[in-house]
Structure 1
Amino acid sequence: MLIYHGSFCVIQKPKIEYSRDKLNFGKGFYVTPLMEQAEAWVARFKRTGRNAIVNCYEYDENKVCQNYRIKKFKEYDDEWLDFIIACRNGDLIYQEYDVVEGGIANDKVFNTVELFMDGLISKYEALGRLKYQQPNYQICFINQEVINQYLLFKGSSEK
């Protein structure tokens, strides 16, 4: 499968060490199988006058599934919400996995998550709001070995 990473530079050999902490699925290298999502990610670089680069990689998910621990969230549900909040709060729960996949907590979704985190709405209400959101999809590579062995850089394009 082809997957994409939006950045301000070409990234032929991704390194997790350059990732920020406390992201949706923890510290890792984030990609998406949706080109339009990657293009939306790089739009923020363009708005600030920086380069907007979409990097493309080949990823053999079947081989990774045989040898590594993968967590897939199929929808915005109770488990997804707990996981996102734990990771955003700095909990290292994500380190139980090599790869985590699922819906992205974009600005619209994260507004609901923040309302819940701040105690302004209940978990029940948060999940009720999230069920109407169309999830975008992200894949987070947490284990550098998976990247080194199973991501093949195919090229990049400036947007």
Structure 2
Amino acid sequence: MKLYHSSNVSVIKPDIIYSRDYLDFGKGFYLTSIHEQAVRYGQRFIRRQREAWLNAYEFEFNSSEWKILELDSYDKDWLDFVASCRAGNDVSDFDLVIGGIANDKVIQTLDRYFDGELSEDKALGLLKYERPNIQYCIRSQKMLDDCLKHIESRQL
């Protein structure tokens, strides 16, 4: 499958070591299958007077060889996992996590939940109406090296 990653640099050989901590699915290399979403994300760099690059990859893997977590909706499992990762409390060893992106609307609900303004039930009630835009977070260097092949990088 073809996946995209936006950055302020061309990323030919992704490396987990450069990933930030405390993101939705923890430390990893984040990608999307939605071209338009990757381009929109890249616009953030341009608005900050920085270069923006759209990197494209081919991602092929055998699911039986890897430890994978799929979170298909904004439900309790998704909310608990994101809360754990963003707090730096994730101790799981998944190679790949697939699930919804915390977009602008979702992030507002998450922030209110993390701040204690919303209960878990209220947050889940608001999130159930949102349709997830799926992101892929490759969390192991071995999976990056074995399964993700760079196709091209182009400046936006």
Say yes or no: TM over 0.5. Answer: yes
CA distance in 2, matches of 1:16, 1:107: 25
2:49 is the alignment partner of 1:52: no
CA distance in 2, matches of 1:80, 1:123: 12
What amino acid is aligned across from residue 68 of structure 2 in structure 1? I
CA distance in 2, matches of 1:133, 1:126: 11
Q: Say which of 69, 73, 76 aligns to 1:75.
A: 73
CA distance in 1, matches of 2:15, 2:41: 19
Task: Render the CA deviation track for 1:124-155: whole Å, top value 9, x for unaligned.
Answer: 11111111222111100110000001101000
Q: Say which of 96, 100, 111 aligns to 1:99.
A: 96
TM-score, normalised to structure 2, is 0.96
CA distance in 1, matches of 2:134, 2:46: 22
Segments of structure 2 that go 5 or more residues without pairing to the other structure are none
TM-score, normalised to structure 1, is 0.94
Instruction: Look up the match of 1:41.
Output: 41
- Identify the structure with the greater helix proportion: 1
Report percent identity of matched pairs. Answer: 43
Query: Is the contact made by 2:5 and 2:32 (CA closer than 8 Å) also made in structure 1?
Result: yes
Q: Say which of 104, 108, 111 aligns to 2:105.
A: 108
Deviates more, 1:138-147 or 1:124-133: 124-133
CA distance in 2, matches of 1:9, 1:40: 16
Task: Render the CA deviation track for 1:36-78: whole Å, top value 9, x for unaligned.
Answer: 11111101001011111110000013x2x12110000010000
Instruction: Look up the match of 1:136.
Output: 133
Runs of 4+ in 1 over 2 A off after TM superposition: none
SS in 1 for 2:10: coil
Instruction: Look up the match of 2:148.
Output: 151
SS in 2 for 1:101: strand
SS in 2 for 1:96: coil
SS in 1 for 2:126: helix
Query: Is the contact made by 2:73 and 2:131 (CA closer than 8 Å) also made in structure 1?
Result: no
Segments of structure 1 that go 5 or more residues without pairing to the other structure are none
Q: Say which of 113, 124, 131 aligns to 1:127.
A: 124
CA distance in 2, matches of 1:9, 1:117: 32
Q: CA RMSD in A?
A: 1.0
